[in-house]
Structure 1
Amino acid sequence: MLLRLDQRDTRPLHEQVASAIRRAITDGECRPGDRLPSARDLSLALDVNVNTVLRGLRSLRDEGLLEFRRGRGVTVADGADQRSGLLDQVQALVAEAARLGYSRTDLIEMIRGIS
């Protein structure tokens, strides 16, 4: 699992850690039943404190994306890969934009204009 944090992101680090893992699950890099690296290994890879990683992991557990089990460590929960409908929503948005006569480039420019 290759996780990276965006140095320009101003959110708290534990939220960034949770987002990086959430994205890995959504992208299929981590599948239900997969065991995550230890919090210590993740903290070394991301160059953040282990307590920051643990806080991010706990928030994902509270969302139902991860399971903590003694002797097994932290694993991706069953159905976690289906909890994010973002890709479905993006595909629907692209289809609706096309139906209305907007290109993908037009759609990207609209999104850029929101921020």
Structure 2
Amino acid sequence: MLLRLDIADSRPLHEQVAGAIRRAIADGECRPGDRLPPARDLSRALGVNANTVLRGLRTLRDEGVLEFRRGRGVTVAEGADQRSELLDRARQLVADAARQGYSKSELIELIRGLS
């Protein structure tokens, strides 16, 4: 798994780490059930602190993209490829709505009106 961070990106590093892993899953580099390298190895490869990597991994765990298993490390969750794509599309929708002057709560109301 080859991950890269963009030093010109203004997002916090832990978000960039999470985004890089999401991309790797979406691109098929990591599949459900695959084990990720240890956080210490990822931090060395990316040139960031291990706590930064752990924060990005916890974000993905909270989103249901990764699973933490004692003794087995961090693995890609079943359905993560679909979840990752959906989360990216949802983030894009929130960003598009903000550019058009809609708040998150107004966007939620718009979506509720669709059903």
Q: Tell whether the structures are fold-level matches, with TM greater than 0.5.
A: yes
Pairing 1:36–2:36 present: yes
Pairing 1:16–2:16 present: yes
Residue 3 (structure 2) aligns with? 3
Pairing 1:79–2:79 present: yes
Structure 1 alignment gaps of length 5 or more? 90-113
Larger Rg: 1
- 2:15 and 2:57 map into 1 onto residues whose CA distance is 9
* Cα distance change on mapping 1:27 and 1:86 into 2, 3 Å: farther
- 1:8 and 1:86 map into 2 onto residues whose CA distance is 23
The alignment partner of 1:67 has SS state of strand
- Give 1:35 shift: 0.1
- Give 1:82 shift: 1.4
The alignment partner of 2:59 has SS state of helix
Pairing 1:57–2:73 present: no
- Give 1:39 shift: 0.2
Residue 46 (structure 2) aligns with? 46
TM-score, normalization by structure 2: 0.73
- 2:3 and 2:79 map into 1 onto residues whose CA distance is 21
The residue type paired with residue 9 of structure 1 is D
Q: In angstroms, what is the RMSD of aligned CA positions?
A: 1.7
The residue type paired with residue 46 of structure 1 is L
TM-score, normalization by structure 1: 0.73
